[in-house]
Homo-oligomer: A and B are copies of this chain.
């Protein structure tokens, strides 16, 4: 009587906490980073160089195991979360839900 009553989480397996850091590829102009870099000396912060601004995307993912989770996130990145022409992504997958 109870099977199926545990919600959609449980039929897939384990829960993973995922971080995708999306950054512009080297050589791609980063006006946001350039603006920060140009402004900081006027604001009293010297010694800051090579500022690059990217996105960080965090989510929880239910998957059968870690390999499946990594494969799904890689596919997700390639297809929807990044523009592979101008962006790189670094994927971090850890077991357990985010805090």
Copies of this chain in the oligomer: 2
Is the beta-carbon distance between A54 and B58 smaller than 8 angstroms? yes
Contact of A76 among B9, B45, B56, B57 (CB under 8 A): B45
Number of residues on chain A facing chain B (CB within 8 A): 38
Chain B residues with Cβ under 8 A from A36's Cβ?
57, 59, 80-81
Is the beta-carbon distance between A49 and B45 smaller than 8 angstroms? no
A12 to B60, CA, bound (A): 42
Chain B residues with Cβ under 8 A from A37's Cβ?
59
Chain B residues with Cβ under 8 A from A43's Cβ?
79-80
For window 18-68 of A, CB contacts with B under 8 Å fall at 21-23, 33, 36-37, 39-40, 43, 45-63
A8 interfacial contact with B, CB 8 Å: yes
A48 to B92, CA, bound (A): 15
